[in-house]
Structure 1
Amino acid sequence: MNDTDFQKILDAYDYQYPKELIAQSPASPRDSARLMIYNRKSDKVFFDIFANTTEYLPEKSLLVFNQTKVVPARLICRKETGGKIVLLYIGQNGDNLKFLSDRKIEISSKIFLTSKLFFTVAGQSEKFYFLRPSFPADEIFSVLQRYGKTPLPPYIKETLLKEKELREKYQAIFAKQTGSVAAPTASLHFTQSLLDKIKKSGHNIEFITLHVGLGTFAPLMEENIATGKLHQEYFEISESAADAINKAKEEGWPIIAVGSTVTRALEAKSDANGVLISGCGQTDIFIREGYKFKIVDGLITNFHVPRSSLLMLISAFAGRKNTLELYQKAIRQKFHLFSFGDGMMIL
């Protein structure tokens, strides 16, 4: 594939939007965020708020949520020379920790978080650095909880939220499995009262885990298109969740994925017969137009940036032309966009 062909593919998923529609803070209360509902069979569009989600759900739906928890993964440190350096935690690699750095660092040098907590630069692979901590590597999450800052997407530049508020608001209320560097944003709109209302209305709820990686913000590369694969993300689907989803599917209950992360996990672990297999692992599934969905019947999602793999996933579900038209309708209605923005439900 040459660059011209690659750019043509990305251009097909481009759209224009006013920058002032990029939400810099979330709706309050959470379920007051606006919701656009699109029914693929009737081709009808409705506008409402998340608090009224149950009015549009098909009878006896099973909603699947991602219970991953965002890590305050940004560490503001000092080099041995005293210069500031910002690290972003990516994962553990044996006794070392994998980080991105906002500047070049020398192998064998030390990076100080405090006078007593520091990292020794053990190695580098492409853009990643492997740092050996002065504390046991397994304690990284407690260190991040104490000293870390919540990482935000690059388009959120003017949020007025302080770190304490961010840790609460950039997190689903049911988040419990620590491991994401970004929130599964469709989940942010759900309050406990809305979850209770969903269950009281005859629907069921299940939880899976997919840890959102930095790749969710990375621009698409030619290699992604050529290989049909994206960045890898870790997921877990329990046996009880898989059994409940398979039973619901057998009984004709629509499976509503709350978010693109849930969609990726469910589709990655479904077999050729549309049966969901429990387990854990990494997925690099790239869902784009032409993909045949085996598990997911409906999708709740936020609005995604142009030319992205996430927009391609939505287009695979609703059709590219339809999706871009829906986005323009939302923009005309002044819906807020992206991570802290409003959402849509496609049925």
Structure 2
Amino acid sequence: MKLSEFNYDLPPELIAQTPIEQRDESRLLVLDRTTGALEHRIFHDLPEYLRPGDVLVLNDSKVLPARLYGVRDTGAVVEFVLLKQLPENRWETLVRPGRRAKPGDHFTFGGGLLHGEILEIIEEGIRIVEFSHEGNFFALLDEIGSMPLPPYITESLKDNSRYQTVYAKHLGSAAAPTAGLHFTPELLEQIAGMGVLVEYVTLHVGLGTFRPVKEQTVEEHTMHSEWYTVSEETAAAVNAAKAAGGRVIAVGTTSCRTLESATDDSGILQAKSDDTNIFIYPGYRFKMIDALITNFHLPESTLIMLVSALAGKENIFAAYEQAIRRRYRFFSFGDAMLIK
């Protein structure tokens, strides 16, 4: 498959710059992947599409305030985004501009509260950085770090909690699992009250999920790995629901990738913790999920390839065409889709 097959034209004004005031008032485009039929709803209508015995699986990873600004002894300022924690106070880090961060270079952060040394160049823009500090590193991040919003969001975020899901629990993501941003505690309580199981997995989102695909042939792209975990309790609940005829509905591509990574070839979800670089594109045979709640994704991204694998590329691009025509809001702070 050619990368260009997953391109589309999006008017820039449809890229949502700020979160909607009420999380569950975002729009919801419902796509029937069998017929291609579309419905235009509001996110709080979601329970109408769920039934007792279904299981809703959400990613409870929490976003690190992972954007830091380092200062060299020359006074030059360089942006650092923490991607993945490594042993011994080391992090895989996105550095911009990368040409200003070479092995042996030292930086200070937060007026000297944190120090970093570049140890190694992994690839263009990616560095291994060793940090030194006093006290708890994550408490320090809360003090001097900021949310690593995607580059297409140019407005500042007034409330950091709006880039977290209401159920975020385990700190470690470099970006939010944004499909979950539409849920409120009240909506989740309503769904559980219907007899729908609400279960959680954890996948720490790295920026690799969102990095542009550079190869012109889709199959040649390699995903960066991300760490995930599925508990014994979640695996048992999901397997029981599936065996009883319930649907497994993933909230977000990260939950989808976790479930598909941890499901064996016989269709049984395993309780495990591991790294995954699973790349889902058309032709992939899904082992676990039956439906997906997701946002609208960037052209030529691995995420639009994933939803195309689930719903069919023609259905997805027809749905996106309708969404653009009806002025839906796109990307991280945008509106949602239910693919059923």
Q: State whether TM-score is above 0.5.
A: yes
Taking every aligned residue pair, what percent have the same amino acid on both sides?
40
Q: Deviations along 1:77-116, whole A, 9 cap, x unmatched?
A: 2111122121111223322333222132243332111234
Residue 333 of structure 1: how far off its partner (Å)? 1.4
- Alpha-carbon distance between aligned partners in 2 of 1:260 and 1:218, rounded to the nearest angstrom: 15
- Alpha-carbon distance between aligned partners in 2 of 1:153 and 1:207, rounded to the nearest angstrom: 25
- Alpha-carbon distance between aligned partners in 1 of 2:41 and 2:336, rounded to the nearest angstrom: 10
Partner of 2:181, secondary structure, is helix
Partner of 2:224, secondary structure, is strand
Gap runs ≥5 in structure 2: none
Q: Which position in structure 2 is the counterpart of 1:202? A: 195
TM-score (norm 2): 0.93
Distance 1:116 1:11, change over 3 A: closer
1:298 maps to 2:296: no
1:52 maps to 2:48: no
- Alpha-carbon distance between aligned partners in 2 of 1:238 and 1:77, rounded to the nearest angstrom: 37
Q: Which position in structure 2 is the counterpart of 1:3? A: none
Alignment partner of 2:127 out of 117, 126, 129: 129
- Alpha-carbon distance between aligned partners in 2 of 1:119 and 1:251, rounded to the nearest angstrom: 53
Partner of 1:134, secondary structure, is strand
Counterpart code for 1:20? E
Q: How does 1:76-91 map to 2 (within 5 A)?
A: 76-91=69-84
Q: Which position in structure 2 is the counterpart of 1:112? A: 108
TM-score (norm 1): 0.92
Residue 118 of structure 1: how far off its partner (Å)? 1.5
Residue 338 of structure 1: how far off its partner (Å)? 0.5
Q: Which position in structure 1 is the counterpart of 2:270? A: 277
| Deviates further, 273-282 or 141-150 | 141-150
- Alpha-carbon distance between aligned partners in 1 of 2:178 and 2:113, rounded to the nearest angstrom: 36
- Alpha-carbon distance between aligned partners in 1 of 2:67 and 2:273, rounded to the nearest angstrom: 26
Alignment partner of 1:144 out of 137, 141, 144: 141
Aligned length: 335
Residue 134 of structure 1: how far off its partner (Å)? 2.4
Counterpart code for 2:116? F
Gap runs ≥5 in structure 1: 1-7
Alignment partner of 1:102 out of 84, 96, 102: 96
Distance 1:115 1:38, change over 3 A: closer
Partner of 1:197, secondary structure, is helix
Contact kept, 8 Å, 2:235 with 2:270, in 1: the verdict is yes
Q: Which position in structure 1 is the counterpart of 2:254? A: 261
- Alpha-carbon distance between aligned partners in 2 of 1:182 and 1:323, rounded to the nearest angstrom: 24
Alignment partner of 2:206 out of 213, 217, 236: 213
- Alpha-carbon distance between aligned partners in 2 of 1:94 and 1:28, rounded to the nearest angstrom: 40
Residue 16 of structure 1: how far off its partner (Å)? 1.3
Residue 17 of structure 1: how far off its partner (Å)? 1.8
Counterpart code for 2:131? P
| Deviates further, 335-344 or 142-151 | 142-151
Alignment partner of 2:12 out of 9, 19, 39: 19
Distance 1:93 1:160, change over 3 A: closer
1:343 maps to 2:339: no
- Alpha-carbon distance between aligned partners in 2 of 1:248 and 1:99, rounded to the nearest angstrom: 39
Partner of 1:16, secondary structure, is coil
Contact kept, 8 Å, 1:80 with 1:109, in 2: the verdict is no
Counterpart code for 2:120? G
Contact kept, 8 Å, 2:210 with 2:302, in 1: the verdict is no
Contact kept, 8 Å, 2:102 with 2:121, in 1: the verdict is no
Q: Which position in structure 1 is the counterpart of 2:152? A: 155
- Alpha-carbon distance between aligned partners in 1 of 2:114 and 2:221, rounded to the nearest angstrom: 42
Residue 58 of structure 1: how far off its partner (Å)? 4.2
Q: Which position in structure 1 is the counterpart of 2:223? A: 230
- Alpha-carbon distance between aligned partners in 2 of 1:21 and 1:191, rounded to the nearest angstrom: 24
Partner of 1:277, secondary structure, is coil
Distance 1:141 1:252, change over 3 A: same
